[in-house]
Structure 1
Amino acid sequence: MTTTVKSPGFDRRLITPLVAGAVLNPINTTILSVALVPIGASFGEPPSATAWLITSLYVATAIGQPVAGRLIDTYGPRRLFLPATALVGIAGVLGALAPNLVVLVVARVLLGLGTCAGYPAAMRLLRDEADRTGEDSPGGILTILAIATQTVSVIGPPLGGLLVDVGGWRTTLAINVPLALAAFALGWRYFPRARPEVRERRPLFDLSGLNTPLMITYGRALLAYLVSYSFVYGFTQWLEAGRGLSAGQAGLVMLPMFGVGIVVSAITGRSQALRGKLIVASIAQIAACVLLFALHPSSPLWILVVVVVITGVPQGLNSLALQNAVYRQADPAAVGASAGLLRTFGYLGAIVSSTVQGLVFGDTADTDGLHELAVFLVVAGVVYLLVNVFDRSLKGTT
């Protein structure tokens, strides 16, 4: 008689370090949003110049994510995660001491490179644990990862506003030092020292694992994050420069957006549906963008809250659906690189967003610029909706 020995369940000691690494990039996204106006005032630079602080991080990360993912697939998460996390701490020190905007941009580039390994390492560990335990999506950890990212996004604006109000914008860079130390220590303690299996080495830029559904998912990620980052950065700058709020107040106004995102992710996380989530997210994005036309310098607080609450719906649905789509559609042997490419296309959306903001805002983030941005975002939102409605690869995933 043959006895089958069942593998232990998912090693839950890995949850904390994989989340700690994966959230380093989103915290640097949202925490900067309330610091852009103070940074511009400090260096005497307009929004068109401070937009480079957004672009620089995302260019670096867009290039570095798939490279880091491929190296993680080949050599394991630990060997890439630890030096990359250390680089985040170094970038935090450089940014906190930056004497001008150029040095600050360099620090943001280093942050982009340093945060490249976190998300691909998390996805690689999840796939390795799925292979070991035989569970396709081990213990709902994908949902935990999505909610953790949302939670960090919630913390970012109010934390950034608090840091700016108490210690100035430099503290929004310095906060990376303790965060990096914590992530490094957790990775050192819990990440496997050896690969759980031996993988075939592939070329660094191996396109054989790409397929049509995966490429469409990457395209929708670009559109989704183009709109999302435009809200995080563009709307927040307008709250300060156009509506006259302080950095702390702007952070608090943005809080419901990310809070709703967490709730939506938690409620829908167990559902395997993709198409329905993406279509609802598309419609909510369009609705929020249309509402931007109703805003003006004396807009009451309630309408600002309505806008950010509606935006929170796609914030929760998009990140979870896109992440699950890549996990399903990617070659299991290349899930790290595939996850890196997902972030790459998301960052391309952020780069386009920052470029557009530089064009529409010019010297100040005023209401006319916000309305011009809204025109662009409505068009992008409609294209995103059409992609989700007519994508045949999503058939059967409602």
Structure 2
Amino acid sequence: MTAVRASAFDRRLLAPMVLGSILNPVNSTLIAVALVPIGIAFGAPASQTAWLVSGLYLATAVGQPVTGRLVDLYGPRPLYLVGTALVGLGGLLGLLAADLGVLVAARVVIGLGTCAGYPAAMALVRRESRRTGQDSPETVLTVLSVATQTIAVIGPTLGGLLIGLGGWRTTFAVNLPLAVLALVVGWWRLPRGAGERSAGERVVSLVDPAGIALFTVTLVTLLLVLERPALWPLAIVTAAAAAGLVWWERRAAHPFLDVRVLAGNVPLLLTFLRALLGATVSYAILYGYTQWLEQGRGLSASGAGLALLPIFLGGIGVAALTGRRREIRGKLLVGAAGQIVVAVLLLFLGPTSPIWLIVVVALVAGVPQGLNNLAIQNAVYRQADPERTASSAGLMRTFFYLGAIAAGTTGGFAFADGGATTAGLHVLAVVMLVAAGLFLLVTVVDRSLARLEAPAPGLPSGR
């Protein structure tokens, strides 16, 4: 291999970082246009196929912070390799699934497998910052953001094309070559022994299994209540587990969630809240708007995917143009305004809306898609405790998935009667408008964002 300059980011790490990071958005978005044909294939209503979305997000919402903590302790390599192997296994299970239950199980396995990619990438960025003595390279963070955004937005288009070529099972089969490629590149390029702890140290004493168990119970029961309001008695379990989590973590020698530090880091908590609100809007477009394009507007799966392509073009263009700029608050303000405009435009759509208006909606949606994800990612990197970069990145993704599940739940209510109708789309648009307004409010009042635009003390700005 070519020697790496001590003052330069090791660009050989980019390939495994990008491959690991895109596995989750690949599987989050390909399924968007597959829900309808899967429902037809198994004779399942939308309320049942929704578990294909929820199952993956339940697994990843719980698994990302846990995996992130393990990455912080033991380095990215072992978690990355195990995770990508699970993605391949889940893809094979989905390809061979004979009923909807097995298909949901396959999505859970895939979700768990994708948990390591993004925290590992953020940990590697932090590691390179320490090795080179430079502040985080904006170009590298932009590459990560652009890669995940690219997949997140072209996923429906790619999914539509795959379904047109080989049916909905191709959206699971695509995981097999991706997992093999990620395994090979990860084995070849990822550094060994990059964690803070040696493999010989006892995992139980460092990982805090009790804290992880309480966190899992809290999150799973909360998500079940959000998904199925009829299960509201579980909210009592949620509250009890959450109280127990806080009590235990304040006393644990090696807490999974350092609640004392987290409670004192209000800027990071506000960033987590923005991740939740932003994801609610973006996933309402991805899942709810996509279903309306197929059922309410009458487009085919491939046509709906192509109709969303301008989001990809706009999001990538905006991220590429603004990625090297350190400014975070300005990006978030413009992104919030873009979300508000998109929600208003959806209120004017109907069964006979012209294609040009659908294209305009997609183009406008590309602006917050490009700005918000990039700004939130950079904010987490700069606001998090350096010793918990990966777990903070994983926790940010948990809030992101909470927003995605909130969007899915809202879509389920909006489309409960008669499928993805125009009336249901307008209900979804009102919810999006509320979430986007809160996103704007939280950003306007958060003055700490301005401090993130200066290089870290003692470190020169790197690119």
2:422 corresponds to 1:367:
yes
2:332 corresponds to 1:278:
yes
2:360 corresponds to 1:306:
yes
Counterpart secondary structure, 1:273: coil
2:243 corresponds to 1:206:
no
Alpha-carbon RMSD across the aligned residues, in angstroms, is: 1.6
Counterpart secondary structure, 2:13: helix
Residue from 309, 317, 325 that aligns with 1:255: 309
Counterpart secondary structure, 1:296: coil
Residue from 321, 346, 358 that aligns with 2:375: 321
Q: Deviations over 1:28-70 (max 9, x none)?
A: 1111111111111111222222221111111110100000000
Counterpart secondary structure, 1:119: helix
Q: For the residues of structure 1 that align with 2:28 and 2:54, how far apart are their CA atoms? A: 11
Q: For the residues of structure 2 that align with 1:251 and 1:24, how far apart are their CA atoms? A: 19
Partner of 1:11: 10
Q: Which runs of 5+ in 1 are unaligned?
A: 1-5
Sort the Cα spacing of 1:397 and 1:333 in 2 relative to 1 into closer, same or farther, 3 A.
closer
Partner of 2:111: 112
Q: For the residues of structure 2 that align with 1:394 and 1:130, how far apart are their CA atoms? A: 21
Partner of 2:160: 161
How far 1:370 moved relative to its partner? 0.6
Q: For the residues of structure 1 that align with 2:47 and 2:346, how far apart are their CA atoms? A: 21
CA contact (8 A) 1:37 1:241 kept: no
CA contact (8 A) 1:51 1:357 kept: no
Counterpart secondary structure, 2:88: helix
Q: Alignment identity in percent?
A: 58
Q: How does 1:117-266 map to 2 (within 5 A)?
A: 117-138=116-137, 140-195=139-194, 202-210=254-262, 211-266=265-320
How far 1:197 moved relative to its partner? 5.7
CA contact (8 A) 1:238 1:366 kept: yes
CA contact (8 A) 2:161 2:302 kept: yes
Q: For the residues of structure 2 that align with 1:164 and 1:369, how far apart are their CA atoms? A: 26
Stretch deviating more after TM superposition (46-55 or 294-303) = 46-55
Partner of 2:385: 331
Stretch deviating more after TM superposition (356-365 or 299-308) = 356-365
Counterpart secondary structure, 1:294: coil
CA contact (8 A) 1:92 1:174 kept: yes
Q: Which amino acid aligns with 1:364?
A: G
Normalising by structure 1, we get a TM-score of: 0.95
Partner of 1:342: 396
CA contact (8 A) 2:138 2:326 kept: no
Q: For the residues of structure 2 that align with 1:326 and 1:396, how far apart are their CA atoms? A: 13
Q: For the residues of structure 2 that align with 1:80 and 1:209, how far apart are their CA atoms? A: 25
Stretch deviating more after TM superposition (102-111 or 11-20) = 102-111
Q: Deviations over 1:90-127 (max 9, x none)?
A: 00011112222221111111111110000000000110
2:449 corresponds to 1:394:
yes
Q: For the residues of structure 1 that align with 2:39 and 2:195, how far apart are their CA atoms? A: 48
Q: Which amino acid aligns with 2:259?
A: L
Q: Which amino acid aligns with 1:335?
A: T
How far 1:203 moved relative to its partner? 3.1
Sort the Cα spacing of 1:50 and 1:7 in 2 relative to 1 into closer, same or farther, 3 A.
same
Residue from 346, 357, 361 that aligns with 1:292: 346
How far 1:397 moved relative to its partner? 5.5
CA contact (8 A) 1:21 1:183 kept: yes
2:91 corresponds to 1:36:
no
Q: Deviations over 1:134-166 (max 9, x none)?
A: 111136210111111122224312211111111
Q: For the residues of structure 2 that align with 1:186 and 1:271, how far apart are their CA atoms? A: 30
Structure with the bigger RCO (C-alpha within 8 Å, sep 6+) is 1
2:429 corresponds to 1:377:
no
How far 1:191 moved relative to its partner? 0.6
Q: How many residues align?
A: 393
